[in-house]
Amino acid sequence: MNTTGVPTGRTGVELRHLRALAAIGDEGTVTGAAEVLHISQPAVSRTLEQLERAVGTRLVERTTRSLALTDEGRRLWEHAHGILDRLDTALNEVRAGPRPLRLGIAWAVLGPFTVPLLQEWRDAHPDAPVRLHRRTDLEGALRRSEVDAVLLRTTPSPVPDVHCLRLMHERRVAAFAEDDPLADKEQVHLADLAERDVALCTTAATTHSTLWPEGHRPRTVDVADVEQWLAAVATGEAVGVTAEGTVHSYPAPGIRYVPIADAPPVPAYLSWPKRPSHPDTNAFVTHVRRTLQHRNASGHRSPAR
């Protein structure tokens, strides 16, 4: 330890510094971080100050009323989670053997392909289980190493240390209450929905008002989750627009799904870190690619090109 209170060494950064930053970023307050870490608030503040001196930049903006991570702090916070997770994984493997591969998954992504995909993996790799995890922020969860790979329906942000593979396209469909005048149509057009209220799920949206041309956009109704989205559609409060996988995953009573003839399809992506956080990640990626290529070749959905 030197006179500034920063541990000596090549970086001056210890695991306790990363744990403190991770807790501060997660909890949003020094008080919350202290409770999670089971240490005093002054100890958390001192540890943060040591870390900021070690890296040479401010990581947290503090006022008398608020606390927020700086841009540098947020990047290091995400890396801290990854480092701590990899350490925990290594220790747990020594104690109890390998953990399951954690797959973050978006609402209904891949539709009827998801279960066969996982069943075939389990049959071929019985000692390498995959566990599904739903997260509001899948890309953030991947960067923080909370999951080992993610299946997305939104175009991933370009990140240098993350691979991204476009898997397939899903047709876009409209969802109506069963007594809606459009529910019995073979197909509808975006213009048919422009005068309707369209429910948008704030945590799993595949559709936004920008799908319609400016000046011809529908009114939108924000709902908090999938259950509220289904309820809004089933009761006739609003119509829905979603990807075709929803038809398989959510065949809800009182709702009918109708293809939209002129809406662009919804792409599905697989993302995983270039430095895998699980030893079976690359094998799982290969399995997903091969399985979907085979199923796309015989199905009605379009493989990615």
- For 240-266, what is each residue's pLDDT tens digit? 999 998 898 888 889 999 999 999 999
pLDDT band at 5 (very low <50, low <70, confident <90, very high): very low
Share of the chain above pLDDT 70, in %: 91
The whole-chain average pLDDT of the chain stands at 86
Q: 12-21, 93-102, 180-189: which has the highest mean pLDDT?
A: 180-189
> pLDDT at position 82, please?
81
> pLDDT at position 203, please?
74
* Neighbour-count burial of 290, counting CB atoms closer than 10 A to its CB (0-12 exposed, 13-18 middle, 19+ buried): exposed
Structural domains of the chain ordered from first start = 15-90 (1.10.10.10), 98-169+266-303 (3.40.190.10), 172-259 (3.40.190.10)
Share of the chain above pLDDT 90, in %: 51
Please check the confidence at residue 184 and state whether its pLDDT lies above 80.
yes
pLDDT band at 288 (very low <50, low <70, confident <90, very high): very high
pLDDT band at 108 (very low <50, low <70, confident <90, very high): confident
> pLDDT at position 299, please?
55
> pLDDT at position 265, please?
93
> pLDDT at position 197, please?
96
Please check the confidence at residue 7 and state whether its pLDDT lies above 50.
no
CA distance 167 to 9: 45
- For 129-143, what is each residue's pLDDT tens digit? 999 998 878 888 898
pTM greater than 0.85: no
- For 15-74, what is each residue's pLDDT tens digit? 899 999 989 998 888 888 899 898 998 999 999 999 999 999 999 998 777 789 999 998
